[in-house]
Each structure stands twice: as C-alpha cells, then as structure tokens.
C-alpha cells in the first residue's frame, strides 16, 4: 500500500463534520504541526459544545464553519478539493433515544451522509465514514465484516440509518468512483473535552462517581459486546490518513469485546463501594456477540487502548465527588 510522505500530508486539507462531539473534539487535539495544510471544523452547534474549541494546538491552521450538513442551503463543495479528506462524524448517536426520533435520525445519519458523499464525489475528495458495530444486532458468535445482508440485524433506528448509509457509500464507490473507508466503531469509552455520558461505560462511571446504583439486567451481566477506547478510535482515523487507507472496504474497530461484569468490576477498582442492582428481564442471550478486528490489524494497525486506564482517567475528572461519596 502506498504510504503518504510528510510533504504529501502537509498538502492535505481535512474537513471534519460534527467536529465538536465526543470523538471529534479529541481528534482536533491530535494533529501535528507538519501533518495537514488546514483543518476545517464543520459543526451546527446543536449540542452547544463550545468548549471543544478551547486550547486547540496553535500551530495548526484551523477554520470554523458553523453549518448543518443536512441544510439544503449549505454547500460543502467549496470547502473541498482533490487533496481534501473528509472525516464524517456528524450524526445522532443515541441508540435508545433514536426510537422516538426515527425520521430525524434518518435525515441526519443517512441523508446527511449521502449529501457529504455527493460533495466528495464532485470534488474528488476522499471520505472517512464512521459507522457502528451496532449494525450486527443479534448476530451469534463471532461476526466479521463479511456478514451477509441477511446476517446484519440492526436493532435500533440509529443502527439502521448507519447501515443504510454504508450501503449507499458502497454503491457510490462501485458505480461512480467515490473513494472512502468505513470504520465500524465499537461503543466508545474514554475522555475528551466534548465527551458524552449516554453510552454504557461512560454512563456507568458517571453514575458510580455520583453515588447512583448501576441497574443491570441479570441476564445481560455476562453478555459480550464490542467496545472501543477513544484513543484507539483517534489512532484508527490517523491510520487511514497516514496509510491512505481509502480502499472502499469496511473495517471493524474494536478494542475489546467485554461483558457488563468485566466493565463493572473495572469500575469497582476505582470506586470500591460501587452499588449494582440486578434486575430480572427476558432472556437476552441473542444480544451477546464478539466482533472480529483482524481485518484492520492486517493493515498494520495495533490496538493500545485499555478499559482500566480509560476508567481511571474518567473517574479522575470527578474524583472530588467520588472521594466525597466514599467518605459518607
């Protein structure tokens, strides 16, 4: 595979949509002075995470564009050229909440991705699309990127919208020449200035720090699901940039396949008096699966994330509250 040289990297321009969110705010802090010509931040400020703009590396040429990629009056094309790479992070990512806003999820996650991809096609820009391992749904055993359409069973409007966007990109690539890569990220954990606490690990840590009991389905305690350290997520995006990994393929990006028991035991090491309440529910064994990550590893990528380290870092953010709770 052709690697990009330092000179070539300097000529690249990066456009990051949804740049102020959990992943994007960490990504913006990860660039080196000689890596990129310019980084264009595109965000609609819907979540008002202005703090994600704090203390950006001064050596990097950043430009802010306040816009919504789904707005018909917004034209992404003038921001792009053949040396541009778009990292498309703009999305509604709360899977449980997506059932109440299905039309909005489809508009943002599916039609928004189509709009970004169309602009990339016209400008001959390359695209990094962040999808989700939630597209595997209730698959059994070990799942890979080669799962057939019949085996993919997304269980939420969020996952359905991401899978539809994946298929749209694949069609645009094969029929019209779009250059892209799709990363199916596991559930994110880890700290960033724009982080959220609606996903499993981060939500559990928040609750534990503030003395709230963790409510866990008894039947789900030992189910395995895919998780991704935010550090590895950023490194995967950087890997695509440095290795020119735009082969129109799908890659699973998963640090670990973990059970709820493993997660809660890791949190307990930081907060020993953690309270867990087990509640009964219908048998959910079909929701346990392991996601294979060997495809991206075959491209020279190594996973370095650690649930223990990320948990410690997150607890440290709220250490005064966690300590006060322990003293009660």
Task: Please check whether residues 170 and 185 belong to one and the same domain.
Answer: yes
3-state DSSP of 273-309: CCCEEEECCCCCHHHCEEECCHHHHCCCCCCCCCHHH
Query: What pLDDT score does 66 carry?
Result: 94
Quick one: which of 235, 240, 231, 241 has its CA closest to 192?
231
Query: What local confidence, expressed as pLDDT, does residue 284 receive?
Result: 41
Q: Which of 209, 234, 255 is the last residue of a domain?
A: 255
pLDDT score of 327: 42
Whole-Å CA distances, 66 to 45, 47, 85, 210: 7, 12, 19, 34
Q: Taking 70 as the threshold, does the pLDDT of residue 73 lie above it?
A: yes
Higher pLDDT, 48 or 173: 173
Q: What is the mean pLDDT of residues 246-268?
A: 96
The yes-or-no verdict on residue 328 having pLDDT over 50 is no
Alpha carbons 249 and 183: distance in angstroms, whole number: 9
- Cα separation, 1 vs 154, in Å, equals 33
- Over residues 309-316, the mean pLDDT reads 96
Overall number of domains in the chain: 2
Together in a domain, 238 and 89: yes
Is residue 145 domain-shared with residue 218, that is, in the same domain? no
Per-residue confidence band for 187, with pLDDT thresholds at 50, 70 and 90: very high
Q: Which domain holds residue 64?
A: 7-189+226-255
């Amino acid at each position: 595979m052709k690697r990009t040289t330092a000179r070539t990297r300097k000529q690249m321009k990066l456009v990051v949509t949804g740049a102020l969110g959990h992943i994007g705010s960490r990504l913006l802090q990860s660039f080196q002075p000689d890596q990129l010509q310019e980084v264009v931040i595109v965000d609609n400020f819907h979540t008002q995470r202005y703090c994600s703009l704090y203390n950006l590396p001064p050596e990097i040429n950043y430009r802010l564009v306040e816009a919504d990629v789904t707005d018909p009056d917004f034209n992404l094309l003038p921001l792009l050229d053949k040396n541009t790479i778009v990292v498309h992070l703009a999305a509604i990512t709360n899977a449980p909440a997506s059932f109440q806003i299905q039309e909005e999820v489809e508009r943002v996650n599916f039609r928004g991705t189509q709009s970004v991809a169309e602009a990339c096609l016209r400008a001959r820009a390359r695209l990094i699309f962040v999808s989700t391992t939630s597209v595997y749904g209730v698959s059994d055993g070990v799942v890979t990127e080669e799962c057939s359409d019949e085996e993919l069973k997304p269980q939420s409007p969020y996952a359905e919208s991401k899978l539809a966007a994946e298929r749209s990109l694949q069609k645009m690539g094969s029929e019209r020449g779009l250059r892209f890569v799709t990363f199916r990220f596991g559930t994110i954990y880890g700290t960033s200035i724009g982080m959220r606490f609606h996903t499993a690990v981060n939500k559990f840590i928040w609750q534990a720090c503030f003395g709230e009991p963790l409510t866990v389905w008894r039947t789900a305690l030992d189910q395995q699901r895919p998780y991704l350290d935010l550090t590895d997520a950023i490194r995967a995006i950087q890997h695509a940039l440095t290795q020119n990994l735009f082969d129109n393929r799908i890659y699973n990006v998963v640090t670990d396949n973990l059970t709820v028991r493993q997660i809660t035991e890791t949190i307990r090491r930081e907060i020993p008096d953690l309270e867990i309440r087990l509640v009964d529910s219908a048998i959910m064994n079909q929701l346990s699966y392991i996601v294979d990550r060997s495809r991206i590893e075959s491209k020279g990528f190594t996973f370095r994330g650690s649930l223990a380290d990320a948990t410690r870092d997150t607890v440290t953010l709220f250490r005064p509250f966690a300590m006060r709770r322990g003293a009660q």
